[in-house]
Chains A and B, each alone.
Chain A
Amino acid sequence: MDWQIQNKRETQRRLLLQFVTTVTLLLSGLSAMATGTPAGTVIQNSATIDFDLGGTPITLTSNTTSITVAERIDVTVTLQSAQVQVSAGDTIRAILFRVTNIGNGTETFQLAIDSVLAGDDFDPLPSAPDAIFFDTDGSGDFNIANDLPYSPGANDPNLAADASVDIFLVNDIPGTVVNGNIGRTELTATSATGTGAPGTVFPGLGDGGVDAVVGTTGGQAADVGEYIVVDVQANFVKSQLVNDQFGGTEPIPGATITYTVTIEITSAGTATASVFRDVVPANSTYVAGSILLNAASLSDAIDADAGEFDTSGAPTIVVRLGDLTSADGVQTVEFQVTIN
């Protein structure tokens, strides 16, 4: 009110036309959405006109215009998993995707899997009986005991504006694939209200009976995940422990670092003639005779045993692990250096 009065003083003997804009929410329970004004919001305008005519100030108000915010249907699908390493004949290998409602209203989406895609080496086989699962436990890792299967038409995800749901596509890997082959699988999310060219209108089918309008995504989105066949999959974990010469754990010159590396084959198949190599870090010196394989000491010399300290190039710890399978369990290599 204050500024209006002030304006009136400023504009004495002027004709002042002033719009009053008011905004009301038709639907309760909607909060502001990053993706757009909530569907059903009403934006009204009416004009007020103040003027002096023959020295007489007069106020008039115009008609009121009103627009209702339509529901914009927009969705994205984004791959969450890195390339998934698989072996020939694997079953139930999951790839994680995220479906996000980037429209401004609540929308239901239908999900579909397609593993017969061009541009890859093999077609993954959607697992039976279910190949699409919700990440029900929110772990990001597929767990068939906790994660519920998607059933088209029965539990289509219903997402509020800005909300998302994580979805697994689960495929089996054919037995005929070979090392280096890539197979792709695609998740598509489709608006249940409808799809079409951007701007397509579905009268009255939006939230609360407002019009629904197809946004830039066309009401449908998809993303592709990738499997790569590797003959043998392994886990490597390297850890270090510092002991200084004063009985503490400060990484100071003279302190000893014990490196422990664990190697485990996690797939079927055999890693033939496996060799562990690790270059001594800069600014440190290898502690002679410190190589251990599964707690057994190996000599530094290049000889019959499995280990050596090779100084022909950059000083390198070498341990020949031989043919490894998952049956061999965890292999542990240890060695020590001192900080220069």
Chain B
Amino acid sequence: MKILTGLMLTMFACIAVAQDPVHLDVRTIVQKEEIVVNAAGDTETKLVTAETVAPGESVFYTITFTNVSDEVADNVVITNPIASELTYIDGSAFGPGMDILFSVDGGQTFAAAGELKVTEDGQERVATASDFTHVRWIMQNDLQAGAQGIARFAAVLN
């Protein structure tokens, strides 16, 4: 019954997309740090679009989403898998007005950092950033018509 409901929802969603694809605009970018010398001759670090990244470098993912409809969207949830080649940087997930949760089981369950546990060699321990498989942001407030939200996190390339 659960699966049936899910399938119905999915079908309904597909029909809705076909009818009107522009209720919401969502974009994602990936950046990395680059050290540049500014006009004053000082070095500064700025974020530039990441195309090639070397192991050990950090990448910064930014998701922006805009409600381009004239209706209110409530209870916004963003979920983002962390690729196996990446290690989440502790404390880097960020989103104004959002609660941030993590998963260590491939996105099946989510909880706040520090509440998650993993079993290693038969021993249960508190999960650390390197165990995280997904990041989830939950908007505390509705996304008003015309409003924009932003979610970010950073990871190191293994």
Is B100 interfacial (CB-CB < 8 Å)?
no
Interface members, chain B 25-55 (any A CB < 8 Å): 26-30, 35, 50-55
User: Known: A14-B75, A15-B143, A54-B71. Is A69-B53 also a contact (CB below 8 A)?
Assistant: yes
Question: B146 on the interface (CB 8 Å rule)?
Answer: no
* A14 near B74: Cβ-Cβ < 8 Å: yes
Contact with B along A94-109 (1 / 0, CB 8 A): 0000000000100000
Chain A nearest CB from B12 CB (Å) reads 6
Interface membership of B20, Cβ < 8 A = yes
User: Which residue on chain B has the smallest CB distance to residue A51?
Assistant: B73
Is the pair B50, A53 in contact by a Cβ cutoff of 8 Å? no
- Is A252 in the interface zone, CB < 8 Å from B? no
Task: Report whether A21 and B54 are in contact in the complex, using a CB–CB cutoff of 8 Å.
Answer: no
Number of contacting residues on A, CB 8 A?
Answer: 55
B89 interface residue per 8 A CB criterion: no
A52–B71 Cα gap in the complex (Å)?
Answer: 10
A16 contacts B79, CB within 8 Å? yes
Instruction: Select from chain A the residue with minimum beta-carbon distance to B59.
Output: A67
Contact A15 to B6, CB < 8 A, known contacts A56-B16, A72-B56: no
Note all chain A residues with C-beta closer than 8 A to B143. 15
Measured in the bound complex, the distance between the Cα atoms of B7 and A277 in whole Å is 89
Which residue from B29, B55, B84 sits with its C-beta under 8 Å from A69?
B55
A336 within 8 A of B: no
Whether A308 sits at the interface, judged by CB under 8 Å, is no
Closest to B3 in A: A5
A162-187 at interface with B (beta carbon < 8 Å): none
Interface range, B side: 35 or more
Structural contact, A52 and B65, CB atoms closer than 8 A: no
Q: CB-CB < 8 A to B52: which residues of A?
A: 67-70, 210-211, 213
Which applies to chain A's interface (DSSP): helix, strand, loop or mixed?
Answer: strand
Residue of A whose beta carbon sits closest to that of B32: A67
CB pair A58 B23 closer than 8 Å: yes
Interface residue B96 (Cβ < 8 Å from any Cβ of A): no
B residues 3-27 touching A (CB-CB < 8 Å)? 3, 5-7, 9-10, 12-14, 16-17, 20-21, 23-24, 26-27
B97 contacts the other chain (CB 8 A): no
Give chain B interface residues in 77-106, CB to chain A under 8 Å. Answer: 77-86, 106
CA separation between A56 and B143, bound complex, in Å? 16
> Which of A9, A23, A60, A69 is within 8 Å of B24, CB to CB?
A60
Q: Is B130 an interface residue (CB 8 A)?
A: no
CB <8 Å contact, A45 and B6: no
Partner of A36, one of B26, B35, B151, B158: B158
Task: List 19 interface pairs A-B (beta carbons < 8 Å), by A numbering.
Answer: A3-B107, A14-B76, A21-B80, A36-B55, A36-B56, A36-B157, A37-B85, A41-B85, A52-B73, A53-B24, A53-B73, A58-B20, A59-B14, A62-B26, A62-B63, A63-B28, A67-B53, A72-B55, A104-B55
Q: Which positions in A face B, CB cutoff 8 Å?
A: 2-9, 11-21, 23, 35-37, 41, 43, 45-47, 49-54, 56-60, 62-63, 65, 67-72, 104, 199, 210-211, 213, 215-216
